Structure 1
Amino acid sequence: MAENSNPVIPNKGEARKPEVTPDWDKVLYAPERVEKWLRGEITLQELNAISGPEMLEMAVIGFSMYEQGRYEEAKVIFQGLCTLDPKEGYYRTALGAVFLAQEDLDNALNMFNAAIALNDKEIASFVNRGEVYLRQGKIIEAAHDFKRAVDLDPENKDPLSHRARILAAAALETLEQAQKLAENKNKAPAKKDDGKAPAKSAAAKGAKARKK
């Protein structure tokens, strides 16, 4: 019996097309995509096709640097994240916290203001901005921010709102003490002129006259 010499026909499912690696630079940075970024229609994160998990991983590293007291490194990471996604308030809150830890109150305040403008439901932004106001001696503004943080968590589930309650109580106590001091100062009787100074002056003049 003659051997079957029919050619083997490959399964279509097994047939492989030659792999073509796209030029991602040309795809990602095509003129129309760059123009969208310039118009603010897409973020730098989207332009560079950086995934959400990758952004989160960078944020976790930044937070780790912050907890270790490596503020300059944390600052670089969160500044980069702010640039990549200017629409995300959390990155500005985190960057503001780094500035606050470095006692850079002006930059911290700017970051918290920007974060609140992007998301006014974030408790951390109000608590942190309230702390900036406290350090600046702006007790009333601080109390308002702490109250806002407390209002955002009426059931007191977030540890930050618990902190806000403590700071709010401290701020109000400071404010009450300042008001009492001001009231006591206003109530204090005016010091009367008892005439002792002029009498002393006259006696001194008499002594001089006797010497003559």
Structure 2
Amino acid sequence: MPLLPTPSDDELRAVLEAGYVLRDVMRYDEAATVFQGVAALRPDLELPCLALASVFIRQGELERAQELCESVLARRPDSLHAQTQRGEILLYRGARAEGEEALRAVVAQGGDSPHAATARALLDASAALADAEP
């Protein structure tokens, strides 16, 4: 018998949404706590780990963010969300060729998914930055 009741999917969604709001208003420590808590309650879900990675990205802790993405991909190599986030992190870390390759793979696999759309936007931004370089 569990010590605590398992939250419903709706309750988890509400908590995750609160974490995203905290992240978006730059209350990073509190957002990280929310995402870590949900990840502890539901280690089977990839979203809390990737949400925590998004906090680390905003804090400039790219190595920690990439480690979280890699941990999700180790469990779910087909996760377009984790693949997209990993590609983004690689771009930020200066591994442009590797990041673009990862993002192109998401576009190829993702069709009309939101993750493929994000990957396309990141590829466009990377190309624009490359064109602007002297």
Query: TM-score, with normalisation over the residues of structure 2?
Result: 0.81
Q: Is the 8 A contact 1:142 1:171 kept in 2?
A: no
Equivalent runs, 1:12-23 vs 2, <5 Å: none
**Corresponding residue for residue 49 of structure 1:** 5
Q: Secondary structure at the match of 2:110?
A: coil
- For 1:165, the equivalent position in structure 2 comes to 120
Rg comparison, structure with higher value: 1
Structure 1 counterpart of 2:117, one-letter code: H
1:46-94 Cα offsets, whole Å, 9 max, x none, are xx32222322221121111112222111101001111122221111111
Is the aligned partner of 1:119 residue 2:76? yes
Query: Is the aligned partner of 1:134 residue 2:108?
Result: no
The total of aligned residue pairs comes to 133
% identical equivalent positions: 23
Query: 2:31 is matched with which residue?
Result: 74
Structure 1 partner of 2:2: 28
Task: Extract unaligned runs of 5+ from structure 2.
Answer: none
User: The residue matched to 1:49 in structure 2 has which SS?
Assistant: coil
Q: Distance in 1 between matches of 2:76 and 2:47?
A: 8
Q: Give the match for residue 61 of structure 1.
A: 18
- Structure 2 residue identity aligned to 1:124: H
Q: Are the counterparts in 2 of residues 108 and 132 from structure 1 also a CA contact under 8 Å?
A: yes
Instruction: Determine which structure has greater relative contact order: mean sequence separation of CA pairs < 8 Å that are 6+ residues apart, divided by chain length.
Output: 2
Shift of 1:108: 0.3
Equivalent-residue separation in structure 1 for 2:52 and 2:100 (angstroms)? 22
- TM-score normalised to the size of structure 1? 0.54
Distance 1:90 1:140, change over 3 A: same
In structure 2, give the amino acid aligned to 1:161.
Answer: A
Letter aligned with residue 92 of structure 2: R
Cα shift at 1:157: 4.4
Cα RMSD of the aligned pairs, angstroms, is 2.6
Distance 1:171 1:68 in 2: 26
From the two aligned structures, give the one with the greater helix fraction: 2
Match of 1:152 in 2: 109
Shift in Å at residue 117 of structure 1?
Answer: 2.5
Distance 1:128 1:28, change over 3 A: closer
The Cα shift of 1:128 comes to 1.7
Stretch of structure 1 that moved more, 83-92 or 53-62: 53-62
